[in-house]
Structure 1
Amino acid sequence: MKRIADLDPDQMTPAQRGAHDAIASGPRKGVRGPLAVWLHRPELAQHAQALGRYCRYETTLPPRLSELAILTLARVWGSEYEWYAHKPIALEAGVSRDVVEAIRTHAQPVFSQPDEAVIHAFLTELHRDRKVSDARYAEAVERLGEAGVIDLVGLAGYYTLISMTINVFQVAQPAGVPNELGE
């Protein structure tokens, strides 16, 4: 059960309404999940949604790699809502079903594309060790470029914030949608 109620738009303060309208009129086309939680602190909602817009829609990483990164982070954090929201987007962006299933079950994915292997290994190492080795960093720069690595770390920070929000406030996927991560 969600720990914090969604706000009724008719009951919002002007700051909350401004944040709500900015989010709803953007590429997300609505205010759901962790964004709805953040509306309780409209200043956080405004800044976080701007970072999220960049991380999701404007980085140097193509959608296939961004969505693979998001699923990897959803699995690391056991974030069912994030998994629910991004699994279909990842599949549509070209992440293979076998890779998605391997991530879901904590198996080592078999990647057909080296850039995907780098994304997964980099994020797995970063979250396990709280840093990345010189070798992993060099491999990531070689495959993604320096800008891509910077964008990947920014995306990791943002989706960690998303996952923490989902987990702390118990944001669930819609009724009737089963948990896939076993959390």
Structure 2
Amino acid sequence: MSWDAAARTGQVTGARERLPFLSEDQLDERHFAAMEQLRVLYGYPEGMPLAPFFATLAHSPDFFAGYIDLGVAVSMRSALPLRLRELAILRTGWLHGAPYLWGEHVHTSRGKVLSPEEIERITQGSQAPEWDALDRAVLRAAEELHEDAMIGDAAWEVLAQHLDARQLLELPILAGHYVMTAFVQNSLRTRLTENNPAGLAAR
């Protein structure tokens, strides 16, 4: 799917956020336990305020804790190599027109595991000619999950030549986590951060 980056970013983030943030005096022990995981994951200093997206998720303490648990597992304990994770996350974010998700992961991956040229190519998808076989299969997997709710045989065959059973299992779980993230962030009209001022225009 091809988005007009500026128009889609404006559609999602240009309107007022739909739910208010919760302040820390409204949080309970489930929130604080999840926040500590976030602090360790991202290297936040102690006492740093909860980011707006997470402060909105906190309206549901149990879902907030579960979401953070899965996010930490995806980010810190996944057997998938970081490059492949970011390819799948960014392609999923682009396909769902998710400016917050896309921009945040452009910021964290650009110049580290992906070049600016590769990030631009992710917007074109698996059909861009420059990908190697594994990168193309990961991108195609994200596309097929989006289009048909399953990874097709051809992409799976390539993936299975390079990934073990645990990694093959974790790939659709990873993509599914970020589909959920896109649904929530887009529906809540989550505002962009200072690290992510461009949304889907970020490269």
Same fold, TM exceeding 0.5? yes
Q: 1:107 to 1:59 in 2, by over 3 A?
A: closer
Q: Which has the higher contact order (CA 8 A, sep 6+)?
A: 2
Residues 1:27 and 2:41 are matched in the alignment: yes
Residue 133 of structure 2 corresponds to: 114
Q: Give the structure 2 partner of residue 54 of structure 1.
A: 73
Equivalent pairs counted in the alignment come to 181
Cα deviation per residue 1:93-148 (whole Å; 9 max; x = unaligned)?
32232221122366843444332111101111121122222222222111222221
CA distance in 2, matches of 1:8, 1:133: 45
Calculate percent identity across the aligned residue pairs: 22
Q: Does residue 80 of structure 1 match 2:95? A: no
Alpha-carbon distance between aligned partners in 1 of 2:58 and 2:38, rounded to the nearest angstrom: 12
Match of 2:164 in 1: 145
> Under a length normalisation based on structure 1, what TM-score does the superposition of the two structures give?
0.85
Alignment equivalent of 1:173, drawn from 192, 200, 203: 192
Is 2:180 the counterpart of 1:161?
yes
Query: Shift of residue 91 of structure 1?
Result: 1.8
Q: Tell me which stretches of 4 or more aligned residues in structure 1 moved more than 6 Å.
A: none
| Change in 2 beyond 3 A, CA 1:50/1:16 | closer
Aligned pairs for 1:5-44 within 5 A: 5-20=20-35, 22-28=36-42, 29=44, 31-32=50-51, 34-44=53-63
Is 2:22 the counterpart of 1:3? no
Structure 1, unpaired ranges of 5+? none
Question: Residue 104 of structure 1: which of 103, 123, 134 is its match?
Answer: 123
